A = this chain, B = another copy of it.
Amino acid sequence: MGTDFAIWRQAILARTEQALETYLPAVTEPPSQLHQAMRYALLGHGKRIRPLLCHAAGLITGAPSSVLDVAAAALEMVHAYSLVHDDLPAMDNDDLRHGKPAVHIKYGEATALLVGDALQTQAFITLTQSPLELVQQAILVRELAAASGSQGMAGGQMIDLQSVGGELSLAALETMHRMKTGALLSAAVRMGALCGQNADAYKKALDDYAAAIGLAFQVVDDILDVSANSATLGKTAGKDSQNGKPTYVSVLGLEASQRLVKQLHQQAQAALAPLGKQADWLAHLADLVIERAC
């Protein structure tokens, strides 16, 4: 099973790379430098956790792989745009991303701003083309937009920004992360299911699963920020604590954070239980999120 999962995962990573290659404008299209920088931000790296979740959820509802590729590419474009803007000097001011110079270091700040803007738009361009049917396009756009806007990812970043140097209650920290990271991870699962049939029947289980791993993802991130080094992370380690950002480790302590991860892992597995073997890949993805092999 572990081997089968590894093979499936590799296949999805390869398909996603191919889909991104297809749905990003070619460098030969003007403005060439913008398209080159968009590709630099997106191709050849990344854990692709959102595409993996999308494909794994789509298997349960019998979604065609070619349709899932479109949703997965759009999700990854939104994720990449958020990283490009997050790394800007006015935000986290990070020079390193995926072990390479951040987009604003490589191409300059103004270009990085436009790269993020255009990648967000490209996600919606991507969702509104074949092989998706028009009705499906609209439903997926709605999911992706809701998850990434001011009451989702961008809103979470705003709360993150305001929290620097201050203190957050555990509840406020959870709200921030559910918006900043959780919303888009949940959208990945939901959009995958919506690419197939009868998604409503699985909604409760998948939403519960996604909520648990979404939060676990962030707690693990906070643990790694204090325990891993930059080379392992491919981004600057210790950044959050240096910046005086409240994290699970700063609020709960390291041990309690590790216990919380275990608890969320169990919640994710419990949510999947009613779905049986068809949710195996989602269960493996929960393991990956927790172990951060992914």
Query: A residues engaging B (CB < 8 A)?
Result: 25, 29-31, 33-35, 38, 81, 85, 88, 90-91, 108-111, 113-114, 116-118, 120-122, 124-125, 127-129, 134-135, 137-139, 141-142, 144-146, 148-151, 154-155, 157-159, 161-162, 175
Does the CB pair B159–A30 fall under 8 Å?
A: yes
With A90-B110, A91-B110 known to touch, is A33 a contact of B158 (CB < 8 Å)? Answer: yes
Does the CB pair A150–B35 fall under 8 Å?
A: yes
Does the CB pair B158–A111 fall under 8 Å?
A: yes
The SS class assigned to the A binding surface is: helix
Does the CB pair A151–B33 fall under 8 Å?
A: no
The residues of B that contact A139 with a CB separation of less than 8 Å are 134
A81–B114 Cα gap in the complex (Å)?
Answer: 12
Does the CB pair B134–A148 fall under 8 Å?
A: no
A30–B155 Cα gap in the complex (Å)?
Answer: 8
Does the CB pair B121–A145 fall under 8 Å?
A: yes
The residues of B that contact A85 with a CB separation of less than 8 Å are 113, 117
Interface centre among A113, A135, A150 (most CB of B within 10 A): A150
Does the CB pair B161–A145 fall under 8 Å?
A: no
A155–B124 Cα gap in the complex (Å)?
Answer: 16
With A117-B116, A145-B124 known to touch, is A34 a contact of B90 (CB < 8 Å)? Answer: no
Does the CB pair B121–A142 fall under 8 Å?
A: no
A202–B149 Cα gap in the complex (Å)?
Answer: 34
A25 to chain B: closest residue by CB: B150
A85–B142 Cα gap in the complex (Å)?
Answer: 24
24 pairs, A vs B, C-beta closer than 8 Å: A29-B151, A30-B151, A30-B175, A31-B150, A31-B158, A34-B155, A110-B161, A111-B161, A114-B158, A117-B117, A117-B154, A120-B120, A121-B148, A121-B150, A121-B154, A124-B141, A124-B145, A125-B142, A125-B149, A128-B142, A128-B145, A134-B138, A137-B138, A137-B142
Q: Which of B29, B30, B137 contacts A141 (CB 8 A)?
A: B137
A35–B154 Cα gap in the complex (Å)?
Answer: 11
